[in-house]
Amino acid sequence: MKASKAALRGQLRGQRRALGGREHAALSRAAQRAILRMPQFRAGARVAVYLPIDRETDTALLRAAARRRGVRLFVPVIADMRRRRIEFHPFAGRMRRGAYGISIPHEADHPVGARWLDLVVVPLVGIDAGGRRLGMGGGFYDRAFAYRACRRHWSGPCLIGLGFDFQRVDAVFAEPWDLRLDGFAGETGIIRYPRRPQ
């Protein structure tokens, strides 16, 4: 029987909000370090990271390391709210408040297509044993990477969910359109999900 997505989302967001400041920071750093060891996080690579809201796992360590390593960093920007479409814009210069209070580049221009990124660090509320992502419910990432369901070989960037280990769940919640990730980075390291037909 499928768990109620709304109930599961509420439970996991509550657990995330309940983390104390020091614990949240320490677990966030540990999870980010797992991503820093990935071969895709290298000089010249196109890497997208989210800017956290609602006590999501922090990405500050990734952003700082990207500058030091010469990684080309991008952030998601909502381009069309009605169609639930995001674009990935260079992370540079001044920032401003965008939709849902998420920080975005002040002058969002020159987006790169989702297919042409090397690594995408994906926010999540939960993830199941098969790598299916439970997000906030907007479907933005599901739509951005929906093309992967039609690909047998090349599928674009490596998609890694970033979160806390308690966000890994046994509950069956996934719908056919829910995005399958390639891996999950938590405080104890990275878990890989084998590529299989969507």
**Model pLDDT, residue 48:** 98
Domain ranges of the chain: 5-123+152-192
| Backbone torsion region of residue 166, taken as left when φ is above 0, otherwise alpha when ψ lies between -120 and 50, otherwise beta | alpha
Burial class (CB in 10 A: 0-12, 13-18, 19+), 97: exposed
**Model pLDDT, residue 198:** 43
**Model pLDDT, residue 197:** 47
Q: How far apart are CA 171 and CA 57, in angstroms?
A: 21
**Model pLDDT, residue 45:** 97
Q: How far apart are CA 23 and CA 193, in angstroms?
A: 27
**pTM of the predicted structure, to 2 decimals:** 0.92
DSSP state of 56: P
User: What is the per-residue burial (b if ≥16 Cβ within 10 Å, else e) of 102-128?
Assistant: bbbbeebeeeeebeebbbbbbbbbbbb
Per-residue pLDDT of the chain (198 residues; tens, 9 = 90+): 466 888 999 999 999 999 999 999 999 999 999 999 999 999 999 999 999 999 999 999 999 999 999 999 999 999 888 998 999 999 987 888 888 888 888 876 789 999 999 999 999 999 999 999 999 988 899 999 988 877 666 667 999 999 999 999 998 888 888 899 999 999 999 999 987 644
CB 95 within 8 A of CB 134: no
The structural architecture, per CATH, of the domain 5-123+152-192 is 3-Layer(aba) Sandwich (3.40)
**Model pLDDT, residue 46:** 97
Task: Say how many CA atoms lie within 13 Å of 181 toward its Cβ.
Answer: 28
